[in-house]
Amino acid sequence: MNITLPDGSIRKMENGSTGLDLANDIGPGLAKAAIAVSVNNIQRDLSDPINEDSEVSIITIDSDEGLEIMRHTLTAQVLARAVKNLYPNTKLAIGPTIKDGFYYDFEFVKPIAPDDLDKIEKEMQKIVNSKSSITKKLQTKKEALKAFNSAGESYKESIIEESEQEEDFQLYYQDDDAFVDLCRGPHLPSLKHIGAFKLTKLAGAYWKGDSKNKMLTRIYGTAWKNEKDLNAYLHSIEEAEKRDHRKIGKEMNLFHFQEEAPGMVFWHPNGWTVYRLLQDFMRDKLQAFDYQEINTPLVVDRKLWEASGHWDKYRENMFITEIDEEHANEKRTNALKPMNCPCHVQVYNQGLKSYRDLPVRYAEFGSCHRYEASGTMHGLMRVRGFTQDDGHIFCTEEQIETETKLFIELLSSTYKDLGFEKFDIKLSTRPETRVGSDEVWDKAESALESAIKKLDLPYEIEEGDGAFYGPKLDFVLTDAIGREWQCGTFQADFNLPDRLDAEYVGEDGQKHRPVMIHRAVLGSFERFIGVLIENYSGKLPFWLAPVQVAVATIISDVNDYASDVINQLENHGIRCHEDFRNEKISYKVREHSAAKVPVIMALGKREKESQTVSIRRIGSDKTTSMSLEDAVKALTVENSVPN
């Protein structure tokens, strides 16, 4: 048979040759490094036979694929075995890989604690040091059920029983056959290929994610090719924890959450200042790009949600309300809006539109509510109540390319002004289940892609990940420590205008459906403020800081001068906090630094006499002295909002 390698070369191999045979044929070095094989883009074990002409590549631990396979083996063959060695009566559930690591769900007889992770980790290392080989056996459904029934592994039995297949269940054994697990594979051929790893945390998880099922214990871990990569990752996690917006938000007195309103933000004065400044900044941006700001109801009758299709597809995530109508013998069912788009169509539909009116660009800082499971909520990053910098553009098909270009210009300008120099673009194309003709999809996808190319921006194509109503662009920004955040989106919709009877009169005098473009730059204000806090580690740009200057007195005799300083700063739009407390200046500086105030002015007798101020910037131990007049001028310039 012919085996085509990634470089295009072809090797003749006997039918039934394995990936390991191919690696040996290419060279002993590759055979030693090989851990799996890709056959026609499907990952397989090195021991699997290849029975037909195929495109084949050898996978090593140095590749992303290899790293994932190593993590998969680590969770299914090492973590699972270590737990069974230490806690023999534990039942195994599932153990997949995730971004940067893995987890495994277990049913323990007695709960374990975070302190037990160290013991499990040591047992894992002991297993890895054995360098056991791993072999795969294919078994029938009956044989696989028997193997796990005798071991008392009821979760594995359940997985097998629910499978429609009758043959080729993959059971992986270590060389002494002392441990076996059911797995989709592939796995490493030997534990000698395991790199560096660490268990990170415990969590609860329902079997199959269903709250009606038993709560299991989930053990998380991370694994890397070597200790250097592991330590770099752990350092990045430590840095991320230092930047946790929930911790910094408390230090800066920005917001809080409480049980009486789960997933809803209580904004404090400082936090609301940031929110309002960001909203005003976005409002100016939108006006510069000819958006008309509107506002639509928070509570809307179910009839509109039924017409838009959201009632069938999204009802479980909607907050529903019922009221008794005063003059009717029936209840009216309403929903808090989870999104703004159907309401924006209602505004568009008021009055007949001509092709000369298009494009129509509506913007709304729309308050939305979506039900999120309690276990998924995470500070500002995932909430139940939020406000989007939402916008919808009604245009002709021919205008899609121009609108795409304008939106990317708006988004690029906004992200740059907020300190994000880098973002990636992902173009998601038609999914299998979709509305609209292939001709319309061709036109929409081509328009989005053409606009990106003309702006000379790099992008990735995500095949089949578009919305059912149209293709979309997702914009993923990178923060100060390299993390990615998907915030902006631009989606072409050919479905909703039809469902909600949006029309315009074309140049031919006939009525046509406009294209509806759903777009957001920041996404939700709540989430984006969380991203900003973590990106800047709370040290927000001067114009965005809730308190910009803390004026702290060294002695009470200068309180009058400090008041004059504050008045002059506030008259120039600078947000100040006065600190006239009878405390040491070192204490005041530490406190305001912890609250991330950008500028601290320390005023004593010398400053009063010379009409100067001593300025210390956050993150610096240096103090700069300048005249009050010069300080006011400099800070006024610094306070300019980007545009």
Catalytic sites, residue numbers = 341, 370, 388, 390, 392, 472, 518
Containing 199, the helix (H) or strand (E) segment is strand 196-206
Task: Give the Cα separation of 171 and 428 in Å (integer).
Answer: 37
- What is the C-alpha to C-alpha distance for residues 353 and 516, in angstroms, rounded to an integer? 14
Residues in the chain: 643
Sequence-distant (6+) residues with CB within 8 A of 77 are 134, 172, 174, 179, 181, 187, 188, 191
H or E element in which residue 518 lies: strand 515-524
Angle between helices 141-150 and 154-162 (to 10 degrees): 170
Helices in 87-222 by DSSP H: which ranges?
116-129, 141-150, 154-162
Q: What is the CA radius of gyration of the chain?
A: 30
Looking at 331-488, list the stretches that DSSP marks H as alpha helix, in order from N- to C-terminal side: 341-348, 400-417, 438-454
Phi, psi of 538 (to 5 degrees): 85, -15
Q: Do 520 and 489 contact (CB within 8 A), yes or no?
A: yes
Angle between helices 269-288 and 400-417 (to 10 degrees): 140
Q: Are 157 and 169 in contact (CB under 8 A)?
A: no
Helix (H), strand (E) counts: the chain: 21, 35
Q: How open is the CA angle 237-242-248, to the nearest 5 degrees?
A: 140
- Contact partners, residue 108, CB within 8 Å, separation at least 6: 87, 90, 217
Which helix (DSSP H) or strand (DSSP E) does residue 311 occupy? helix 310-314
- The answer to whether the beta carbons of residues 317 and 286 sit under 8 Å apart is no
C-alpha to C-alpha distance for 603 and 616, rounded to whole angstroms: 11
- The DSSP element (H or E) to which 91 belongs, if any, is strand 91-92
Backbone φ, ψ for residue 500 (5° rounding):
-110, 15
- Cα four-point dihedral sign 298, 300, 306, 311: positive
387, 369, 359, 371: which is closest to 492 by C-alpha? Answer: 359
How far is residue 618's CA from residue 596's CA, in Å, rounded to a whole number? 7
**Per-position b or e across 348-368, b if 16+ CB within 10 A of its CB:** beeeebebeebbbbbbbbbbb
